[in-house]
Amino acid sequence: MQLNASTDVAGTFSYSPAAGAKLEVGVQTLSVTFTPQDKTRYAASTITRKLTVNKAHPGVRWDVPAAVLQGSVLTAAQITPAPTVLYGVQGSFDAASYVTADGKPLSAATTATPGSAVVMATFVPKDTAHYTTSVASTTLTIKPLSSAAVIDFGDAKQTIKGFGGSAAWYYNKLADDRLNVLFGTGLPDSLGLSIMRLRIAPAEWNAATKTADTTQWTAELVNGAGAQARGALVFASPWSPPASMKIVNKERPNPLYSGRLNPTMYAAYAQYLNAYVRYAATRNVNLYAVSVQNEPDWDPKDYESCLWNADELKTFIGEQGATAVAGTTAKLMAPESLGYVPTATDALMADAKAANNLGIIGGHLYGAQPDYASSAAKLGKELWMTEHFLDSVNKSSSKTAWQTSIDDAIALAKEIHDGMTVAQYNAYVHWWLVNSNDSTPTGLITSAGKPTYFGLGMKHFSYFIRPGYVRYDTTALPQKGVRVSAYGTPAGSAPGKAVVVLVNENATDVTLTTSITPAGRTLTSLTPYRTTATATFEKQAAIGVSGNMFSISLPAKSITTLVD
C-alpha cells in the first residue's frame, strides 16, 4: 500500500527501501526508480516521497476485578486481577497512574459509596522509542456493608440508545413476521431490538452532477424502512467508497478490496455520503447516523474494504465531516475500528474541527474487550459498539455443524454487561440479525425466525431496556461470576420503570441479596424473566421488595431480567 507508484509506460519499478522492510519511527524517505522497457524513447525516472512511521500502541486488557468492601483503604495492589499487556510487549503499569474515570487518584473516597467505579491505569513500555503508553480500564465493584449488592436509582450514568444488529448484504426484503420477531415485542419469540445497521453499497458516482447510482442502495434500505416502521433507529456504514474514488490495491482482484480513499476525492466522498443520507430519506429511512468507514484498520483479501490511518480520518472529518451530513439530522460516526483501538479515537478527539463534526464514536470488539474511551466521553460523544459476534462454545475444527447453548447466551450477556458498565456504551449492535447458515450460527435468530442463544442473551437487555432509558449505578460484580446492571426511565418521568439484569455464570446456584436506593421510585415487587439451559426467557413468579431490599436465587448458568 505504500509502494504504489504507477505509470502508463511499460517498464519496471525499483523501490528503496524494498517491500518488506520495517522502517524506524519518524519521517522516512521512500524512493522509486522507474526503468522503461523502451529505453530509446523514454528515460529512467526517480521520485521520492515522505512516509511517517508512528509508534506502535500496545494492546492492554483488564479483566473485571473482584469486589472490594465499602470503606476499604484502596491501593493499586488491592485490585486483582491486575491489568495486563498483550503480545509480549515489555513494560509495567505505573502504580501512581491508577485513577477513576474523572481523573481522581485511588483513595478511601473511591470506596466510600457502594456501587461501581471505572478505574484506569497506564502501561509504560520499556521501549519508549517504538511504543506509546496505553491505558487499560475496568469496573471496580464496591460491595455494601449491609448486603451483597446495591442498586442506586439516584446515580444516573449513560443514556441508552438501544440494542440491535446488522442487515448488511441483505438484498432481499425481510418478511414482516421476521421483522416482528427482531424488532417487535408482541410475539413470544420477539427480541425487542431497537437498532438496525445497514451497509452503504459502493455506488457509481457522477462527479459532474454529484449524483450516485442509487439502484445500488435501494435493496438494503427496504429493510431499514421495515425496522424504522417498528420504532428502530437505523444507521449505515460503508465498507468501501466507489472504486473511482480510491487509490486501488493492484494486488487485489477487485478494486473495492483494500486500497485508500484518494485525498483529491475527499470533498466528493463527503458529497457521496450526504447523497446516501438524503436518498435514504426518500425511501422512508431517516438515518440516525452515517459512518465514514467500516473497519478502517482492517485489510481483508476477499471483501470490500478501505484503509484509513488516524491522520487521514482526522483530515477528512475535520475538513469534510460537516458536508457529509449537511442539511440532514444524521450524526457522523467514526472510526469503527476493528478492535475499538484508542489511537484513531484519541487523534480525532484531540483535533477541535474533527471532534466538533463527530457525534458518535463507534467501534468493534474483534480481539478486544469493552474499554472506557475517556477522550470521547469527556467531550460528551455517544459511544457505540457497532459490530461483534462470538463464536459458539460448541464450535470446533472437527465439526461442520453445531448449535448454540446457554454458555453462548451467558457469553454475550457478559459482554453487553461489561460494555454498559465498563465502556459505558450508549448502544450495542451485534453482527448479523439472522443466521446466514443455521448449521454454523452467528445470528440472533435462525432462518426459521427462532432466537438462537445469542439472541436470548441479547433479549435480556433489548426487550425491556428501551431507547431513552438510563443506566444506573450498581455493584457490577458483587461476587465471582455474578454480574448486576440496572436501567430505567430517567428521573422524574412517569411511570418510573426499572429493569435489572443479573448474569450468573457459575456452575452452582447463587442467592443474591440486594438493597435499592429508590430515588423517588416505589418498588414493591419485581417480576423475573429467566433463561437457563432448559428454559428460555420464562416468566417467573414476582418477588417482593420490602424495605427497599430483595433476595433472589439465581440458578446455575442463568440470565435473569427483573422488571417492575
The span from the CA of 351 to the CA of 314, in Å, is 7
Span 377-387, pLDDT tens digits: 999 999 999 99
Task: Please check whether residue 133 is in contact with residue 122, taking contact to mean a CB–CB distance below 8 angstroms.
Answer: yes
Residue 477: name the closest of 112, 141, 113 by CA: 141
Phi-psi map region of 534: left, alpha, beta (phi>0 left; psi -120 to 50 alpha)? alpha
Span 464-512, pLDDT tens digits: 999 999 999 999 999 999 999 999 999 988 888 999 999 999 999 999 9
Q: What is the largest CA-CA distance in the chain?
A: 96
Question: CB within 8 A of 564, min separation 6: which ones?
Answer: 497, 498, 521, 523, 525, 526, 527
Q: Which residue has the cell 483479501?
A: 301
Q: 31: which 3 cell numbers?
A: 524512493
The span from the CA of 295 to the CA of 390, in Å, is 17
Helix (H/G/I), strand (E/B), else coil: 111: helix
Q: How far apart are the first and last CA of the chain?
A: 56
Task: State the average pLDDT for the chain.
Answer: 96
DSSP per-residue string spanning 195-227: EEEEEE----EETTTTEE-THHHHHHHHHHHHH
Q: 9: which 3 cell numbers?
A: 509506460
Span 258-306, pLDDT tens digits: 999 999 999 999 999 999 999 999 999 999 999 999 999 999 999 999 9
Q: 30: which 3 cell numbers?
A: 521512500
pLDDT reported for residue 89 = 96
Q: Do domains 60-145 and 473-563 have the same CATH topology?
A: yes
Q: 158-471: which CATH topology?
A: TIM Barrel (3.20.20)
Q: Which CATH superfamily is domain 473-563 in?
A: Golgi alpha-mannosidase II (2.60.40.1180)
Task: Please check whether residue 121 is in contact with residue 81, taking contact to mean a CB–CB distance below 8 angstroms.
Answer: no
Span 423-454, pLDDT tens digits: 999 999 999 999 999 999 999 999 999 999 99
Give the angle subtended at the CA of 545 by the CAs of 492 and 193, to the nearest 5°: 60
Q: Which residue has the cell 456504514?
A: 237
Span 340-354, pLDDT tens digits: 989 999 999 999 999
Q: 238: which 3 cell numbers?
A: 460503508
The span from the CA of 534 to the CA of 231, in Å, is 32
Cis check: omega of the bond before 125, within 30 degrees of 0: no
pLDDT reported for residue 216 = 95
Residue 73 has pLDDT above 90, yes or no: no
Residue 2 has pLDDT above 90, yes or no: no
**% of the chain with per-residue pLDDT over 70:** 100
The span from the CA of 207 to the CA of 82, in Å, is 54
At 148, the pLDDT band (50, 70, 90 cuts) reads: confident
Q: Could you state, in order of their start, the residue ranges of all structural domains in the chain?
A: 11-53, 60-145, 158-471, 473-563
Span 89-102, pLDDT tens digits: 999 999 999 999 99
Q: 54: which 3 cell numbers?
A: 508512528
| Residue 554 neighbours by CB distance under 10 Å | 22
pTM: 0.93
From the number of C-beta atoms within 10 Å of its C-beta (0-12, 13-18, 19+), residue 174 rates as: buried
**CATH code, 60-145:** 2.60.40
